[in-house]
């Protein structure tokens, strides 16, 4: 868990994206990019890394936090 928290807090955009999904539930990549004011290519890279670490999951076009992602997001939020 500490490694995942470090992974998330080591990058401001990863931290913001997890917080966004934590508050909104499910979002597609285009909505994430628009909300975070980032180019889609940047968001795609962040999403790929979060998927790799199993912090988020993708169903169809929507991304949402996994159980682990929820736990990490709560820990980071409370820091």
What whole-number distance in Å separates Cα of residue 63 and Cα of residue 33? 12
pLDDT of residue 11: 96
Domain assignment of residue 8, given as a range:
2-77
Domain count, the chain: 1
**What is the per-residue burial (b if ≥16 Cβ within 10 Å, else e) of 10-38?**
eeeebbbbbebbbeeebbebebbbeeeeb
- Spell out the per-residue pLDDT of the chain, length 79, in tens: 899 999 999 999 999 999 999 999 999 999 999 999 999 999 999 999 999 999 999 999 999 999 999 999 999 999 9
Question: The domain spanning residue 73 has which CATH number?
Answer: 1.10.10.10
Report pTM: 0.94
Could you tell me how many residues make up the chain? 79
pLDDT of residue 56: 98
């Amino acid at each position: 868990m500490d490694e995942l928290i470090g992974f998330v807090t080591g990058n401001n955009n990863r931290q913001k994206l997890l917080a966004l999904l934590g508050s909104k539930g499910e979002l597609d990549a285009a909505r994430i990019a628009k909300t975070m004011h980032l180019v889609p290519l940047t968001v795609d890279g962040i999403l790929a890394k979060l998927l790799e670490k199993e912090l988020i999951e993708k169903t169809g076009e929507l991304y949402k936090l996994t159980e682990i992602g929820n736990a990490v997001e709560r820990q980071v939020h409370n820091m």
